[in-house]
Amino acid sequence: MNTLNRFTAGTLAMLLVVGLSGCGEMSTRQKDTTVGAVGGAVAGAVLSGGVLGTAVGAGVGAVIGNEVGKGK
């Protein structure tokens, strides 16, 4: 079951990346936030193997990406 959760989280992350790849008119800060959220979701899924870890990782990654984007 743990493998299924990782596969599902990975698939969702890839779909998110593909879905957002058409958003060329995003600001740098929005792009950094998106990249942070996707990276955090993937990291959370790998480290925890669960939906809660994926969601927390996405939230933390989005905040970090947003803060990084402020300086650009």
User: 10 lies in a domain?
Assistant: no
**50 versus 54: which is more confidently predicted?**
54
Residue 45 covered by a domain = yes
Q: Report the domain count for the chain.
A: 1
Examine residue 55 and state whether it is found in any structural domain, yes or no.
yes
Cβ neighbors of 58 (< 8 A, separation 6 or more) are 37, 38, 40, 41, 44
Domain annotation covers residue 23:
no
With a cut of 80, say whether residue 48 has pLDDT above it: yes
Instruction: Give the integer Cα–Cα distance in Å for 38 and 30.
Output: 12
Look at residue 16 in the predicted model and tell me its pLDDT: 75
68 found inside a domain: yes
Average pLDDT score over the chain: 83
Q: Is residue 6 part of a domain?
A: no
Token match 């990346």: residue? 17
By residue range, what is the domain housing residue 54? 32-72
Q: In which region does residue 49 sit, left (phi positive, over 0), alpha (psi from -120 to 50) or beta (all else)?
A: left
Identify whether 37 is part of a domain: yes
